[in-house]
Amino acid sequence: MSEANSNSEFQTFIEQENQKAAIQAAISKLTETCWDKCVGKPGSKLDRAESECIANCAERFLDSSSFIMQRLMKKQ
């Protein structure tokens, strides 16, 4: 295996790991934001209103993130 090929594979690995980390950070932010917004007093399970709120919050968060990414890509 050539050194250039090895460096290319390493770069690809690093990029993939960075993408994984970014996805994990986004999921963590989504969870924190929606939980804080929708759950007042945690119980043994979510009630219907909390569950619907979390679902709506997650959808809005993902829609907003997608919109922002599309706008950034258009500017480049």
pLDDT of residue 1: 56
Q: Which CATH class is domain 3-75?
A: mainly alpha
Burial of 33 (0-12, 13-18, 19+ CB in 10 A): middle
For 30-52, what is each residue's pLDDT tens digit? 899 999 999 988 889 999 999 99
Return the pLDDT at 58.
92
Q: What SS3 state is found at 46? A: coil
**Three-class SS state of 24:** helix
Beta-carbon neighbour count of residue 34 at 10 Å?
20
E strand map for the chain: none
Q: Which residue has the higher pLDDT, 3 or 54?
A: 54
